[in-house]
Structures are given as C-alpha cells and as structure tokens.
C-alpha cells in the first residue's frame, strides 16, 4: 500500500534533519561510509524517506556517492568553512549593529538568559549545550534585529563551518571562557548602545576560527579534505 505523499514528505524531512544533525556533530564522521539499511533501522523509517534525504544531502554537498562503492559523508572543506565564516562575519556585523539599535527589555532578557545557561554549560564542560547555546546567542541577535530569515539563509549553507565549530569544542585546549568573555562583552556593548564596539567585537569574535584552526586540524586531520 502506497503511503500518502504528505506522510512520505514528512518522514523525509525527519530523516534529513536527523542525518544532517549527525553529520554536523560528527556522529557520522567525515569520510564515513553510510549504510541506508542501518540508517533506516536507526531512524525507524522506511527506505524511501532515507534515500530521498540522502539525495538532498548529496545535492547540498554533505554526502557523495562513489559508483560501485557506496555513499560517504563528505570531508570538511576548510575553504568552504572559511567562506561561510567570511559571509557570516560581514552580515552579522551589520545585524549586530541593528540589534544594538532595536533591542528592548525582552531582547536584553533573552540574551542574558542564554549567557547564564552557557556559563553553566562551561562549568559542567557540557560541549553539546555550549555549542547549541553559542548558536542561540547569535541567532537571538538576528531575531532582535528582525533578520531571522537572514539567519536561516546562513544556516542553510554553512555545514562545513558548523562542523569545524563543533570540532573546536572537542579540542582539549580550547578556552571556553575566552568565548564567554567575548559574548559578555558583546552583550554589554549591545545593551549600552555602543555600535562601534559592537561592530568591532563581532568581527573579533568570528575571527576565532583562524586562531583555532591549527589546533582543530592537528586533533582531527582525517576529517578534512
């Protein structure tokens, strides 16, 4: 019996989101061969949604297929990650300034709450929560500035950057407190209306990738193209 098209589409979206998440968090490691059958069993979904999800992920460059061999998770393209960082830096600098001029008490409370939760994640050395809250802090600035769609555009094309950023949380010598200090300084500049400082801090914060690149590459050399 054929499944209703709407249900198949919904299952495909679930499969796509879950596989994409596992790629970003390197649960499916760069270079790893994928088994559609194992993915079907793990996700509890049928063949069609999983295979359609893999096709979509292939179109987006997250997986690739080798004839007569199989489907593999793409390795991280450092140039792609750097280009995504460059785009994000230039967009986010403008968005952060807008956030600075538009923020209200609800926005202040939102950012402050995220910072409090992230500080707890640092205390507990909870890398997953730390990473998710890091994203939430930056996403909140876009929301406050009225640029949620811009954030969604960025998120749709920065998988290599996301994977790089996740791996940096797995490097033992990463100074999480330095990231927190930059977030706190950015919060103070935004809430005080200092647009020049906000612009400067945003660029400096997003340049951390360059400073941490060697440590990440040394720790995970096999994950990069």
Q: What's residue 7's pLDDT?
A: 60
- pTM for this predicted structure: 0.87
Read off the pLDDT band of 4 (50, 70, 90). very low
Q: How far apart are CA 93 and CA 100, in angstroms?
A: 11
Rounded mean pLDDT of 36-54? 90
Q: What's residue 3's pLDDT?
A: 46
Give per-residue pLDDT as tens, 196-222: 999 999 998 888 777 788 889 999 999
Give per-residue pLDDT as tens, 97-112: 999 999 999 999 999 9
Q: What's residue 8's pLDDT?
A: 59
Domains of the chain: 5-73 (1.10.10.10), 78-223 (1.20.120.530)
Q: How far apart are CA 16 and CA 33, in angstroms?
A: 17
Q: What's residue 211's pLDDT?
A: 78
Strands (E), the chain: 33-34, 63-66, 70-73
Residue 53 has pLDDT above 90, yes or no: yes
Distances 96 to 113, 137, 141, 142, 190 between C-alpha atoms, Å: 18, 11, 6, 7, 8
Mean pLDDT computed over every residue of the chain: 91
Give strand pairing partners of 73: 63
Q: What's residue 65's pLDDT?
A: 93
């Amino acid at each position: 019996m054929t499944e209703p098209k709407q249900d198949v589409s919904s299952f495909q979206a679930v499969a796509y989101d879950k596989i994409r998440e596992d790629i970003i968090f390197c649960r499916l490691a760069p270079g790893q061969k994928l088994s559609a059958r194992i993915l079907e069993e793990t996700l509890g979904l049928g063949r069609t949604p999983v295979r359609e999800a893999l096709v979509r992920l292939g179109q987006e460059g997250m997986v690739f297929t080798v004839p007569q061999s199989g489907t593999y998770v793409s390795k991280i393209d450092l140039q792609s990650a750097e280009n995504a960082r460059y785009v994000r830096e230039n967009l986010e600098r403008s968005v952060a300034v807008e956030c600075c001029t538009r923020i209200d008490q609800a926005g202040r409370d939102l950012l402050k709450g995220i910072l409090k939760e992230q500080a707890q994640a640092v205390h507990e050395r909870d890398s997953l929560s730390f990473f998710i809250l890091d994203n939430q802090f930056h996403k909140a600035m876009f929301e406050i500035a009225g640029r949620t769609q811009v954030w969604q555009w960025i998120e749709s094309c920065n998988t290599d950057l996301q994977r790089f950023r996740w791996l940096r949380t797995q490097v033992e010598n990463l100074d999480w407190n330095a990231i927190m200090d930059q977030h706190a300084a950015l919060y103070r500049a935004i809430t005080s209306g200092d647009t020049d400082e906000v612009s400067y801090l945003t660029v400096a914060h997003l340049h951390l990738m360059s400073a941490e690149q060697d440590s990440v590459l040394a720790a995970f050399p096999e994950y990069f193209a």
